Chain A
Amino acid sequence: MTEVLVAGVPATLLETLREELPDVALSFESSGEGTLAKLGDRGWAAVVLGCTLSDMAGIAVLQELSTRAGPRIPIVFQANGGGRAAREEALRLGARRVVQGEADAHSLAGVLRGVLEEDLRRPCIAVDVTAAIGSLWERFKNIAFERLDSVEAAVVAQLEGRLDAEARRRAERDAHKLAGSVGTFGFTEASRVARDIELLLQRSPTPEDTLRLSDLAIALRRALERPPATGPAVKERRSSQAAGQPAATRTEAVERRRKPANGRAGVTGGAASPPPTEQAGAPTPRSASPSTAIPVAEPAPQPVRAAGAAAGSRDTRPLLLVLDADIEPLDEDGETGRLRVLCAADPEAAYIALGAEKPDVVAVDLRFGGTADRGLALLAEVNRRAPLARTIVLTSGATPTERLEVARRGGSMVVQKPVTLRKLVDLAARMAGRPQGGPGRVLVVDADEAVLARASAHLRAPELEVVTLPDPQHFWETLERTRPDVLLLAEEMPGISGSELLGVIRGDPRWAGLPVLFLTDGRDGAVDHAFAAGADDIVDKPFAGPELRVRVESRLERLRLRRSIAEVDALTGLLNRQRALTAIGALLQAAERSRSPLTIVLLDIDGLGEIDAMFGDAAGDAVLQRLAATLREDLDVSDVLGRWQGGTFVLALPGASVEDAIQRVRQARDRLRDGPASDQDGRAVAATFGAGVASYPADGRDAATLLHAAEQALRAAKAEGPAMILPARWPDTSAPRHTESVDVVLVEDDVALAGLLSHTLLTRGYTTRCIADGEEAIEALAGGTPRLHGRVVILDVDLPGRDGFEVLRTLARDGVTERSRVVMLTVRATEPEVVRALELGAFDHIGKPFSVQILMQRLRRALGD
């Protein structure tokens, strides 16, 4: 029976109401306090708020109710005089109807009945409206996510201390709009967080604000990616799940042999969520948003477009492209989770997919298309089209020669067939690195096994891998092997303390950025100690499980934020130096394979220092941004453009000759010079740049040499005056030869090892030259004016030509060991051999096999870094 609370009305009125409304259960309450209390505990259909409450005015009760959360109970309010103003005030505070105090029981009953009937109709409206709101959210959520991106970018900029007032105001506006719109869609938490961010951005944030902002930004994304806890969107979600098959649990089966009619031969998509049917249409949702609301009309798997540009626009998961005719598709409910997966069953489909997609990982069957030659050709094509992708080569018993070929063509890994798609997805997920919001790995180091057990029990989750280590003696291997995203480290351990370990971690550039949480027993000074050693956070033992989890997750989220911007130069939006180097390395491999030229240009703004000094840093920044924009204008898809350092940019143009490159750079220079850039006062700042051009293979065969050549050419160009563009070896090589100086000269005849090492060195910013022969090493490094100087020479012993000991003796004789530090890297590691090497003048000795990490540490020591 419908229950109505009637408060503060005369007893006679109540009697009449009971007579008029026999089908309604009326409960009486005399006080305002009592009314407020009763309204909390039962599902009242309506409330009559009369004007004879014993303790407070009816309007005060309304006021209090208007601040409460939860569903609004329809209120019939009896105004005690006060005219139109009182009536309006009551309506403003949420009263459904206002009747005058002198209204008789009969008309009050009529109003109440009207309200109750109206409310019976309302649920129908509510369902329609929530459904309509659900579909509106589908249409507009990308706007919300764009605003979120903007807010996040600003927060990241603020974390890095480069958020200017203009960008702050933009972000404030976006936060404001987010707060307004997402709340309406039912994301009340996100709305509240966005409002907090907006408030913080209204003024220049203090350091505390900055930290708070970063936490809020994380909370905001979380709140938006989670389906709203209350409100219309969630209702919509439920109803559609009841109606049809939930989209998220259905995987598009990977139909490899099917030839679709739409010309996309054999290319099919396999993605858990969102389903490709959505991908092809409107931009789709982050995984957890209420997108699952859309019922999928046709549950059967269907051939889909090779998820082209439209699909890519929102689905930011890394893409695994499988080029193999034998791979069995995932079964119906197979999850590809963190990855998008595309399969191509024949070479034609493979080429189409390579043209349309930018895969992060490509798995290629070596016998794809019949023979190993065809497979290798395809691999070369993969490297040409997607130079930044990692490649997995699938083979059933490749010959050693084929394996070598695979390595030379850029294959990152060889996997024995047969292999399941599931396994490939796992491998690829690991290779593609941790994508946005993807799983993380935590390493917990504590000698107390009970602590380890508790920590892993609380932390372990589908998206969080927990590795525990009870013995700190194995710390380094474990760190190297597990590559955690977050490290939990106990302070008190036998043999070595957590802060000692942390000191070493922070000294290693590879791990310097690793978030470290300290587990301490809260002894005096432990906290200071841990922070001094570089801990990011402290957790007291015994810890509360949920708290530990929140702290770890917060670190992971921060890391994700930071990673998303780490690859891009903040000012210009171009690749940063590291990324540019990696990309150039890949382009070089491709150039080598395809025997085509690759030209590298270093460009440097003329007089950037003067521009900064005369017009201010902002003007200088504007010039840099303009140069970036100008260079981007005629950039080809495969070209690489990065910020090298300061006012210097690097441009790598595959397929371009020196002449082509000079022509293009000249045009860019003229466009830059002719377009106006202005300083703060609106005065135009003219800008030009000088450039040095070096080309593969004429000026060098590896990235270090080429960049060095381009740098020399740039220096020569700058010496000539502004706006000069010069090729390498200018004026020609007849000039007296200079000693080329690099960080590391690698004398090593094992091609694979040399490749690995020079890649490792190059990606850490060290210039490297490789020599594979003892004789050649002596020719290059020794003698009166050597051709090559290395700060460090890494020297193998077993070399063709002359052996390493002979090379070392000659280098010592010519005084090279005084200018260069020689590090022996050899299997010859018996004590007499080590002693002999050191006596001959070697600086250090590393036995093979070695770990790259140890080598890098010893090398840094040798370099005196």
Chain B
Amino acid sequence: MMRTILIVDDEEDSRALTRLSLEMVGGWTVLDVETGVAALSVAESEQPDAILMDVMMPGLDGPATLERLRARPMTRHIPVVFLTGRARSEDRSRYAGLGVSGVLPKPIDPMDLPRRIAAALGWSANAA
């Protein structure tokens, strides 16, 4: 089954790169949104297989968005992976407490990102 993944990132360049990596290397279907608020509604309507979310965003940041996703019956089951440039261990444990499936560092390696996401999510290593 073709996987669908939702990218949440306020930075256009970063979003475009991540999409490119997930589509071309991962072979996944990609949706993307700019804000945490948009992520809440798209996640509910599109039911992606996973959400890849930037931690630092204006407005609802990654953790705040994750909390709300977990609070809603329609989205609480969707696994979320964080992307962050600054993953200190205390942050990691805080994110883990929120129920995040993985925390991946920025900058991403576009050739490697899908594999790492798949590993974090326990998906088959055969990516697609």
The docked-state distance in angstroms from the alpha carbon of A97 to that of B118 is 12
The interface centre, meaning the residue of A84, A91, A128, A184 with most chain B CB atoms within 10 A of its CB, is: A184
Chain A residue, CB-CB nearest to B19: A136
The docked-state distance in angstroms from the alpha carbon of A128 to that of B25 is 10
Q: Mark A122-151, 1 if CB is under 8 A from B, else 0.
A: 000110110011001001100110000000
A176 x B12 contact (CB < 8 A): no
Q: A92-B120, A180-B107, A183-B106 are in contact. Are A129 and B56 (CB under 8 A)?
A: no
Chain A interface: which of B28-36, B42-50, B71-79, B108-116?
B108-116
A132 x B20 contact (CB < 8 A): yes
Which B residues are in CB contact (< 8 Å) with A195? 85
B111 x A126 contact (CB < 8 A): yes
Which B residues are in CB contact (< 8 Å) with A88? 119, 122
Interface: A177 (CB within 8 A): yes
The docked-state distance in angstroms from the alpha carbon of A125 to that of B127 is 14
Interface: B125 (CB within 8 A): yes
Which B residues are in CB contact (< 8 Å) with A860? none
Which B residues are in CB contact (< 8 Å) with A177? 11, 14
B61 to chain A, nearest CB (A): 12
The docked-state distance in angstroms from the alpha carbon of A126 to that of B11 is 24
The docked-state distance in angstroms from the alpha carbon of A656 to that of B89 is 65
B118 to chain A, nearest CB (A): 8
The interface centre, meaning the residue of B14, B110, B125 with most chain A CB atoms within 10 A of its CB, is: B110
Chain A residue, CB-CB nearest to B109: A184
From 68 to 125 in chain B, residues with beta carbon under 8 angstroms from any chain A beta carbon are: 85-86, 106-112, 115-116, 118-120, 122, 125
Chain B residue, CB-CB nearest to A184: B107
The docked-state distance in angstroms from the alpha carbon of A181 to that of B54 is 12
Chain B residue, CB-CB nearest to A93: B119
Question: A interface, by DSSP: helix, strand, loop or mixed?
Answer: helix
The interface centre, meaning the residue of A96, A97, A176 with most chain B CB atoms within 10 A of its CB, is: A176
A139 x B24 contact (CB < 8 A): no
Which B residues are in CB contact (< 8 Å) with A198? 85-86
Which B residues are in CB contact (< 8 Å) with A804? none
B21 x A129 contact (CB < 8 A): yes
Which B residues are in CB contact (< 8 Å) with A128? 24
Which A residues are in CB contact (< 8 Å) with B125? 91, 96-98
The docked-state distance in angstroms from the alpha carbon of A91 to that of B119 is 6
Number of interface residues of B (CB under 8 A): 27
A398 to chain B, nearest CB (A): 55
B23 to chain A, nearest CB (A): 9
Question: What number of residue pairs across chains A and B have CB atoms under 8 A from each other?
Answer: 82
Q: Mark A508-532, 1 if CB is under 8 A from B, else 0.
A: 0000000000000000000000000
B13 x A136 contact (CB < 8 A): yes
The docked-state distance in angstroms from the alpha carbon of A503 to that of B33 is 61
The docked-state distance in angstroms from the alpha carbon of A173 to that of B14 is 14
Which B residues are in CB contact (< 8 Å) with A185? 17
B83 to chain A, nearest CB (A): 8
Interface: A232 (CB within 8 A): yes
Which B residues are in CB contact (< 8 Å) with A139? 13, 16
Chain A residue, CB-CB nearest to B123: A91
> Which of A84, A126, A181 meets B14, CB within 8 Å?
A181
From 308 to 330 in chain A, residues with beta carbon under 8 angstroms from any chain B beta carbon are: none
Chain B residue, CB-CB nearest to A140: B13
Which A residues are in CB contact (< 8 Å) with B11? 143, 177, 180-181
The docked-state distance in angstroms from the alpha carbon of A182 to that of B107 is 8
The docked-state distance in angstroms from the alpha carbon of A143 to that of B11 is 10
The interface centre, meaning the residue of B12, B85, B86, B108 with most chain A CB atoms within 10 A of its CB, is: B85
B105 to chain A, nearest CB (A): 9
A179 x B17 contact (CB < 8 A): no
Interface: A106 (CB within 8 A): no
A133 x B106 contact (CB < 8 A): no
Q: A144-B13, A180-B14 are in contact. Are A129 and B86 (CB under 8 A)?
A: no
Interface: A72 (CB within 8 A): yes
The docked-state distance in angstroms from the alpha carbon of A177 to that of B11 is 8
The docked-state distance in angstroms from the alpha carbon of A272 to that of B25 is 37
A176 x B86 contact (CB < 8 A): yes
B122 x A184 contact (CB < 8 A): no
The docked-state distance in angstroms from the alpha carbon of A825 to that of B25 is 78
Interface: A35 (CB within 8 A): no
The docked-state distance in angstroms from the alpha carbon of A125 to that of B106 is 22
Which B residues are in CB contact (< 8 Å) with A191? 107
Chain A residue, CB-CB nearest to B106: A180
- Given A96-B115, A140-B16, A179-B85, 4 other A-B residues pairs in contact with their CB atoms under 8 A: A125-B111, A126-B111, A140-B12, A140-B13
Residues of chain B touching chain A, judged by Cβ–Cβ distance below 8 Å, are 11-14, 16-17, 20-21, 24-25, 56, 85-86, 106-112, 115-116, 118-120, 122, 125
Interface CB pairs A-B, < 8 A, 26: A91-B119, A91-B125, A92-B116, A96-B125, A129-B24, A129-B110, A129-B111, A133-B17, A133-B20, A133-B110, A139-B16, A176-B56, A177-B14, A179-B106, A180-B11, A181-B11, A181-B14, A181-B17, A182-B107, A183-B106, A183-B108, A184-B14, A184-B17, A184-B106, A185-B17, A198-B86
